[in-house]
Structure 1
């Protein structure tokens, strides 16, 4: 290989490295520009964003920003940072962003439609702010989203049906807003309870009648017991009536009284416990007695 060929090869190699570096820097700078636009839209009395220097090669050295091994932004953590102002549409230029945490601030204005471009987003936490306007329908494009918390704002309009198509959605909180219209009950929204929609102006969900309860074994047992008690009671009444007739036919001089009735009633109860009646002859008369373990009644 002559000297000219070697020089051409080295020049091509160096040029390739410079091009790749420039592409990487442009990409990083694009994300840095997106975050710088957010910073310019926010008031920061506590200097939380002081390290966000747009002249740096990439934003991966900024506080509250996390990047992957390719120097692309994956997290923005600015929750409870005493920030105020509005969200920037340029946030949609963070293609690898997974977590956007801006909760518990005083951010006003609308949620940018451009947030629907963050297709890698897993968590969108904008709760406890002063956001107004509708929930963007474009958020339905976030097919990896698992956590969507927009509660405690002043959002208006209807809940976008597109949100029900996010099958990965696990946590949803739209409570404490001014949303109107119907609550979707299809798709991923089937797994959420009314708590997710509390304190809005939404139409109440239709109340479904509760399913009939199957008969329990305890109630069946009670019914059977009642049936048995009724049958036994009927037999006891029949037996007691016959006993009265027989007794007074044998003892016509016996006066029917409450005391006698109670005695027979007690004898009937003992009979139902397994005792028995038996007759015997004493001096030409038939006497009746009941064998008791404690009480013996012979007239």
Structure 2
């Protein structure tokens, strides 16, 4: 799919809280994904990412050190504070944040503050990164956060990669299910129209055109649906009332037959909705995963 959208931040990755990285790793592997080695944050959380060939990735996130995480919250770390708020409201399994790529997180933070959607102070940090071959590097990031005034079910943030690891991710992107990228993210809301300012400012396109609640990013679409429309589209439960909650991820796959055979072989229950293969959330998989063959 070719996109020509400019002036808008691209999708970088998705944050999927989980209680256990071990459970997440097993679930994602059964779904046909290659899962990266565990990454440790300096503020008590840890992840096991799934990298995709289009440059996006999933970040299953667990709390690895409760004491360090509690201190980070006390010190005003917005990332850990928002993760805790999400877990307190929704449990330890879910889909808490959409992350957008940026080359200037400071400018994004200033824009969020001006628009009244800043979720708090910026965060800069570094952590070690190791590829499957054992090659290591240091990854450094700068983050700027945005959220609705009353939202605890979802937040968004811009991620500037101050130092991107020079490691080969080809092996991490060769997924047995044929997934090559993310084409759409779906959110539910009791008032989809009220999410326009939050999303359009966060993606750095205040004039974003909406068609039925869809926001087009350079590399994916973000659709905000009311709960009835979400259920009607995919046959999935939409959950409790919410201002904004991220609910599903649509992956592009090379061959839907290969994907469905793998899911069946691994005893992963799945349904067909039109041209989509739909897998409901499960422990270690905090969102509905939808696999769509794309040409």
TM-score band, normalised by shorter chain? under 0.3
Q: As a proportion of its length, which structure holds more helix?
A: 1
If you compute each CA radius of gyration, which structure gives the higher value, 1 or 2?
1
TM-score by length of 2: 0.21
Q: As a proportion of its length, which structure holds more strand?
A: 2
Larger RCO, structure (CA 8 Å, separation 6 or more): 2
